[in-house]
Amino acid sequence: MQGIATLKHVAERAGVGVATVTRVLNNNGYVAEATRARVLAAVEETGYRVNSLARNLKRQRSDVIGHLVRSTIPNPFFVKVARGVEDEARARGFTVMTVNVRGDREEERLGVETFLGWRVAGLIFSTPVSSRNVAFAVARGTPVVQVERPRSALGHRITVRNRPAAAEAMEHLLALGHRRIAYVGGAPGTQRNETAGYVETERFGAYQAAMEPVGPLDMGLVRFGLVYGPDQTTAQGLGYQAACEWLDAPDPPTAVMCSSDILAAGVLQAAHERSLRVPADLSVIGFDDTLAEYLSPLLTSIRMPARRLGRAAVGLIVDQIASGSGEGRHLELSAEFILRRSTAPTPR
Partner DNA sequence: CTGAAAGCGCTAACAT
Partner DNA sequence: ATGTTAGCGCTTTCAG
Name the binder of 1 from a second copy, DNA, none, CB < 5-8 A by kind. a second copy
Window contacting a second copy (CB under 8 A); options: 111-119, 188-196, 203-211, 331-339: 111-119
Shortest Cβ distance from residue 217 to a second copy (Å)?
29
| Strand 64-69 relative to strand 283-285, pairing | unpaired
Strand partners of residue 123: 66, 144
Does 262 bind a second copy (CB under 8 A)? Our answer is: yes
Residue from 7, 68, 210, 317 that binds DNA (CB under 7 A)? Answer: 7
3-state secondary structure 130-142: CHHHHHHHHHCCC
* Segment (H or E) for 160: strand 156-161
Smaller CB separation from a second copy, 82 or 181: 82
SS3 200: helix
Asked if residue 138 lies in contact with residue 144, where contact means CB atoms within 8 angstroms, the answer is: yes
- Using the rule CB under 8 A, which residue among 160, 258, 271, 317 binds a second copy? 271
> Is residue 60 near DNA by the rule CB under 7 A?
yes
One of 27, 44, 51, 139 touching DNA (CB under 7 A): 51
103: left (phi over 0), alpha (psi -120 to 50) or beta: left
Whole-angstrom Cα distance, residue 16 to residue 67? 40
| Partner whose footprint covers residue 34, from a second copy, DNA, none (CB < 5 to 8 Å by kind) | DNA
Name the residue type at position 24. Answer: V
176 touches a second copy by CB under 8 A: no
Task: Count Cα atoms within 13 angstroms, Cβ side, for 142.
Answer: 30
Q: Which positions touch a second copy (CB under 8 A)?
A: 1, 4, 47, 49-54, 56-57, 62, 72-73, 76, 79-80, 82-83, 86, 95-100, 113-114, 116-119, 140-141, 233, 236, 262, 265, 268-269, 271-273, 275, 277, 291, 293-298
